[in-house]
Amino acid sequence: MGRLLTNTPRWIFLAALVFAPWAYGCTRPWSIAALTAMMLAVVALWLLDCLGRRRRPVVPWPLWASALFLLAQGWIAIVNPQGAYDRVNLVFMPLKQIVPFAPGVIDRVDAIPALLRQSGLLGIVCFVADLARRPAWRARVWGTMALTGISIVLCGLFMKIAGIHIASYKDPTDIGWNGFALYFYHANAGAYINLVLPLVAGLAALAFLQPHAHGRRALWLPGTILCIAGAVASLSKGAMVISLLLLVVLLAWYVRRARENGVFDLAPGALGATVIGAVVVIGAMVFLSWPGLVTRWGELGRSGLTAQNPRLLTYTVCARMFGDSGLWGFGPGNFAIAFPHYTRDLGKAIAGVWIYAHEDYLQTVVEWGCIGAIFWAVIFFGAFVLGWRTLRTVPLSEPDSVLLTMALLSLAGVATHALFDFPLQIASLQLYTATLLALCWAGPAFVIPSRSHRSAP
């Protein structure tokens, strides 16, 4: 029974990694709710298991301290609201706070679901940081993310070839001509591909760095090529540029690693077949996506670099919102209802409904305030620092070294994408990002045990 309780949250977590991108990228309300329930169940069962076994979770203290602070800030803001939003008259009604000057949301209707999801994510980071201390489970997490990524790319390429498009959940008549796979918004699909591309490429590189891994080479190398083709077919300009940069870094890293290991053993015939296959697959996607590529890149030349670009205007609006959001912010999930009240002087320059700021760092400050943003930065950028330091100073096995390198590359890609889009607001991308952050936080636990430790009973 104890073993069952221990493994149940782990298998639910792996199921969540598969469910999240396949459930329309968790962009539908029902799929977001389902993923939130899965994450909270994982965390609750994990803590219950630790309590039953009287085992203290092994989580780096900066990580769990930051997570606890953010949880406290968020839930205090829920029970200490500073206002409520009248959705009929589109006005805010101020409320008397229980504790003045403490965190308080401007509306609980949107804040509670967002905070439940973010509570689950904070718990998942700590859960995976503890789980990743076990080599077998970090291998399962890596393999699950990579295989799921390949399956999503295959789905997207098939839909692109067949001319199948999905509709917006808000308007069934709105067909996403530039969507990809089950993501209605192409940039979300591109960000997801860039999260899994290094993971798939890392497994391919590991197969070539190890002798006689022919079966794994036959799986992961074509998977890498398909991910690159998917990045092109997604039609996201930013995602394509990031994919290209990731590809350059991956190739440079592999050449250096192969030279160090002396494993340039790819036969000329196999190398030629690989190059031809890559050119054919990627070329076919460029051909099929050419009209969309011309349209997408043409937009950049027409209005992408002007001062009236809606995203640039949004960034200036966010800067004005900082004055009112203060130290504690408007509350998680409250950006969308607050934003329109700061754009009235812009007229039609910013049209439509802006649920996200298209700049995740600015939106974090607006919703969580300066103080909350600092603790989110500790969790996010602290993983980079610890992961890089682990690679430089800790003796790692070949698979663990590759995994940590690929996790850092994936995070670098999504961190760059967050500068001009909203990948960190999409539930499926949040889950994958949280998992990669946890792997970096757990990096020091990947250390190769000493000879005496390995020989101990």
DSSP string, 270-307: HHHHHHHHHHHHHHHHHHHTHHHHHHHHHHIIIIITST
Least confident of 86-95, 212-221, 265-274, 443-452: 265-274
Widest distance between CA atoms in the chain: 75
289: confidence class by pLDDT, cuts 50, 70, 90:
low
- Is it the case that residue 210 has pLDDT exceeding 90? no
Least confident of 44-53, 170-179, 368-377, 407-416: 170-179
pLDDT at 453: 38
d(CA 281, CA 283): 5
- Choice between 90 and 141, residue whose per-residue pLDDT is larger: 141
- Is it the case that residue 270 has pLDDT exceeding 70? no
- Is it the case that residue 300 has pLDDT exceeding 90? no
pLDDT, mean of residues 244-249: 93
- Is it the case that residue 245 has pLDDT exceeding 70? yes
Maximum mean pLDDT: which of 32-36, 264-268, 337-341:
32-36
220: confidence class by pLDDT, cuts 50, 70, 90:
very high
- Is it the case that residue 422 has pLDDT exceeding 70? yes
Least confident of 193-207, 213-227, 341-355, 388-402: 341-355
Q: Is 97 left (phi over 0), alpha (psi -120 to 50) or beta?
A: beta
pLDDT at 227: 93
Q: Average model confidence (pLDDT) for the chain?
A: 88
pLDDT, mean of residues 429-449: 93
Name which of 123, 145, 100, 119 is nearest 50 in CA terms: 123
pLDDT at 456: 35
- Choice between 437 and 271, residue whose per-residue pLDDT is larger: 437
d(CA 440, CA 391): 10
So where are the chain's domains? 135-305
pLDDT, mean of residues 110-129: 97
Location of structure tokens 């890293």: 253
65: confidence class by pLDDT, cuts 50, 70, 90:
very high
pLDDT at 286: 67
* Encoded tokens for 365: 């400050």
